């Protein structure tokens, strides 16, 4: 299925892109995999870069293998949405994208984002639009630093491999 939508990025026009297929974005660590879905984005100005540009927050919640209570989320903040195109962006380029939250749970093991190192890999936004009611495709291929603890044991440093793609609804 293809879609075409108006764009909220100044003079940019959205391009037609195939909808994302598959289970969403997965995070894998130490043999366990959790999946994020229900992606949406909105202009929350959570990580402003200045200059009058309103930053955009992309958020998702863990949908597999189990629901996570009180909630496991994956959030990106885009300080300069006006500079987002269809080219891959380094996850280490904090002027364009910031991994703000990563929390996942499988069984009795919890994984949480760590700030011990910068993420690596890329994120791509195909047909990126900020106009409410539109959608775009997010593609992730990278790794983020995290800590993992199981059964109340000590937290250990790990890297979470992120991969997959998802449709993102602009709110």
C-alpha–C-alpha distance, residues 125 and 119, integer Å: 17
- The per-residue pLDDT for 3 is 35
pLDDT digits (tens, 9 = 90+) for 63-107: 999 877 777 999 999 999 999 999 999 999 999 999 999 999 999
Report the chain's mean pLDDT, rounded to a whole number.
Answer: 87
**CB-based contact 96:122 (threshold 8 Å):** no
14 band by pLDDT with thresholds 50, 70 and 90: low
Tell me the three state secondary structure of residue 30.
Answer: coil
For range 35-60, the mean pLDDT: 93
> In terms of DSSP bridges, do strands 156-170 and 98-106 run parallel, antiparallel, or are they unpaired?
unpaired
pTM of the model: 0.87
**CB-based contact 100:46 (threshold 8 Å):** yes
How is the chain split into domains, by residue range?
Answer: 2-170
Residue 52: other Cβ atoms inside 10 A: 7
């Amino acid at each position: 299925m293809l879609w075409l939508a108006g764009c909220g990025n100044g003079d940019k026009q959205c391009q037609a892109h195939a909808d994302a297929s598959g289970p969403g974005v997965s995070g894998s660590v130490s043999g366990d995999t959790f999946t994020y879905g229900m992606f949406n984005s909105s202009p929350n100005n959570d990580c402003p870069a200045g200059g009058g540009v309103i930053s955009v927050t992309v958020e998702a919640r863990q949908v597999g293998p189990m629901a996570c209570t009180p909630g496991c989320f994956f959030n990106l903040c885009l300080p300069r949405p006006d500079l987002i195109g269809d080219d891959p962006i380094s996850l280490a380029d904090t002027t364009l994208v910031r991994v703000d939250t990563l929390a996942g749970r499988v069984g009795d093991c919890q994984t949480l984002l760590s700030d011990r190192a910068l993420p690596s890999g890329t994120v791509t936004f195909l047909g990126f639009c900020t106009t409410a009611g539109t959608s775009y495709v997010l593609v992730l291929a990278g790794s983020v630093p995290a800590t993992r603890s199981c059964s109340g044991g000590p937290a250990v440093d790990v890297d979470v491999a992120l991969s997959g793609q998802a449709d993102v609804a602009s709110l």
